[in-house]
Each structure stands twice: as C-alpha cells, then as structure tokens.
Structure 1
Amino acid sequence: MKYLEASLPDLQRPDDISNDVVYLSACYEEKLNGKSKAIELLRSTLGRPEISSAPMDQAIRLEARFRCRISSLLCGVSPPQPIEAQDEVVKAAELLGRFEIVGHPYEKLIPYMITRCRGKIALVHAANSDSKEADELLRESEIEVLEYCSRLKDIKTPSNAYNNRKIGLLSLLGQVYMAQAARGQPKVKKHYNFCRHYSGDLSTWALRALHELAECLREKGRYHDMEVLLKVLTSNSDIAEHQGYRSFELGANGTGKVARRNGYL
C-alpha cells in the first residue's frame, strides 16, 4: 500500500489513477477511522487535471464511479451522513444520463453502484428515523433492487461480474426486508410474518447470516447460496409467512425473485 501511495502523484493515465485510488480507498476503509481518509482521497482525485481533462466519456465514467464510492463511504462514517450521500448519488445519476452507449463496462457498473448506494442510504435513514419518509425509501429501494435483479435474470450467459452483482443485490434486498420487518410495519409484518426467536431480533440474526455467507462466497465462489439463504429465511416455519404466502421463489435458472402477492409488489 505504501508503494501505491507513493506512486499515485506520478500516475498520468486516468484509468491507472482511478484503479489506484479505488483500491487505496478500500484499504483505508478497513482501518480504524479510515473512511474519512478514503473520502478525502476520492474527492481530491476528482480535482486532478488528469481526470478533469480526460476525454468527456472517460471523465464522466470516472467521476460517477468516485461519487458512488464517496456516497457509500458517507453511509458508513460515524455518524452516518445520508443527506451528503444522497447528494453524491444524485450527481452520479446525472452523469449516468450523459453516457454514450459504447459498450464500456462502466455502463453496467455505475447503475449497479447507484442502486446499492440508494439502498444503503435507505437503511441509514431507517436506522435513525421512524418517519414515513424512511419507510418510503425502503420501499423504493426494494422495488429498484427487484427491477435490477429482473434485468440480470434475463442474461443468458452471466459472467462472474454479473453473478457478483446479483449476490450484492440479494444481500441488499435481504437487509431491506429485515429493516422493514424490524420497523414493525403492519403490512410488512403480515406479509413476511418475521418471528423474533433469535436473541430478540431476527434482523440482527439474519444480517449476521448474510455476512457470513458473503465471506463464504468470496472464498469459494458459490454464487447461488445467497438465494438459498434468503429462501430459507422466508420459508422456514419459525421465521416466514404462513397463510399460503411465498415471499421468495427460485426460478429454474437459479435466479431469485420476489413473487407478486395480492398486488403488494
């Protein structure tokens, strides 16, 4: 890491700078109080002439990537800064609208990052507010994730990148469901009927399970296990809904989807 830090000022190619900065920001994030340093690095890089003077499409892609990364980090600082995080997402979404369709991987990566950021922002609001707005943000995130998963499902030969995105989205979807249930919304409680037999709070237990499985997936590349876990979470008689509801289905191709029930979804 010290080598990357030392070499960063001398890098000239925008993509080299971007990859170096994103990697360093991830390293900083893992350290105690490192998120603020990561945010500072990303913001300072946005002002580098190598980035701002790059060809327009490239500059737009890199800025959108950085702003999504900053937004994600702002959700994780203490205390979280969801308003500032939302500002960064709005800017990234505006940049996304200026992409020319050239088949660049970022055309798929940035929408995924934006969806993830919006979900994280919704979770931060839900954790810190009992307002109706927080409920609406969770619901909007749920719909957005489901729509994105539906698009991924239609890809006949998914790459590892697509599989990894699907895992990330399913994990986020699980967190959104847990947050909805934990907030005690009558409609959600009726719909998912989460029981709290695990140290008093299913959401904590479920999120821990999701985290442990994510570690396993990174080590072994078991791309469908996240779907299996979510199916268990929503079908186990001690946890899930009764009355004939199925909150999670697995398609023939192994892609998870939430069933539409009584017009709720």
Structure 2
Amino acid sequence: MLGDFYRRRFFRIAKGIGIALLLMAACDLYRPMRPIGSAFAGILAFCAAPFLYGLHRNAVRADRGVAALMANPWVHWEFTHAEWQAVADVQFPQRSKPFTWRRQWPVGLTTVAAGTFGAWIFGGSPPVILGAFVFFALCPIACNWFFGRDMRAQHRRMMAAPTKVWLGPDGLLLGSQFTPWVSSEFRLERAAVQSAAPARLVLRFRVSPSLTYSSRPYFHRSVPLSAGSGRDLELLQQKLRSAFPKAEIAVV
C-alpha cells in the first residue's frame, strides 16, 4: 500500500493529467483543431509518464520509511490543537495578494507567445489561433489559482492529520507527511530552532534538480515544539550531527 500523503498526491496529480489529456483529445472532435489536440496530448503524455513514475516510487519508499521510523524513533511528540494550528499557518500560509498581470506578465507573455506560435506552426486557422491565444492567456491565472488552492488543501490535510511527530534515523513524520533525511532528490542541510512564536524546529532540505523538484533550491519543514521538548532536542542534535556531519545542526 502506498504512503498516505504521497498516495493522495500521486492520484491527485494523475487525475489532473488525465483530465487534461481528455480535454486535448476532445479537441480532435473539432476538425480545424484536430492536429493540435493530438500533438499537445502526446507531448503531455510523454512528459507526464516519468514524472508520475517518480511520484509512485516516492510513495512506495515513504510507506516503507514510515513503518521503519515508527518502529525505531529517536523522539515522538504529541501536540495540542492550538500548537498544531500555529505551525500549520506558518508551514502553509494563505495567499493574500490576488493575481495581477503586472507581477506575472513575463510568464504570461512567454506562455501566450509559445502557444500561439505553436498553433500557427501546425497550420491552424484564424479561429484556432485566436482560441490558442485565449487559452494560453488564461493559463497563468489558472496556475496561480491552482497553487493557492493546493496551499489551502495542504493546510486542511495537516489539520486533519494526527497531531503527532516522529523523528528517527529514517526521517521525519509530520502528521501524515513523511520526509526522509536523504533521498535521490534532496538531503537535510540545516536544522535550527525558531524561538519566535510559534516555537518550532525548522528543517531545511537542499534540493537536487529533478522532475519532482525543479524550480526551488531548498524547502523547509516546520515542526511544533512544546515546553518539555528540551531534553529531546539535545538527543536529536546528537543524532543528527552524528548522521550528517556536514549539515548545520544547532537545535539547542
């Protein structure tokens, strides 16, 4: 059985790709757009296959890692709803600024130009080229909306998950989200305590360019801290420094 967090992520993305393929294939029903729909569907399928394979592989590894972690943890913490809520708000902040072309015009212009040029190259008629222009002009707005929606969904999933944290030699289990210390795509780079409210342990992971992580050099995991976690932090610092001598570990 696949890891819980990664299983949901895999099927959510696979569903979105499947819907996109169906919509592109449906374009072939409209005769002037017949070559365009098939071409874009083929490109999407070609790019999505290795991406989905990577997600599935991560899910299988996560399932095994969670089982090993819960059988042999370094520390295991449980939290109140208020402590968990405070860290969820930091980990998955809600976007307050709406989409504006003033901030997004470089991405929007590139997308519109590429899509319109592609429709022209494939010999599309003027209505088809106009339709491609409108479609790709809406893409940045749709991506912005989906990103905000994904952040809200992750916030809801964290609040619905068990308010527990496990840290051990195999990685971190934060609620239902498992993150190994080292994988083919990232590794632990830094661990430090943020004393500003809400108090939390911040773990930074350095990312290697891959199909899954391609647009950011690192990411963070924020772990809540309770008043009685001092002794556990000393043990955690000792274990992490021993396992990752090149990482910046300063949690006490």
**TM-score w.r.t. structure 1 length?**
0.20
Greater relative CO, 1 or 2 (CA 8 Å, sep 6+): 2
Q: Which structure dedicates a bigger proportion of its chain to helix?
A: 1
**TM-score w.r.t. structure 2 length?**
0.21
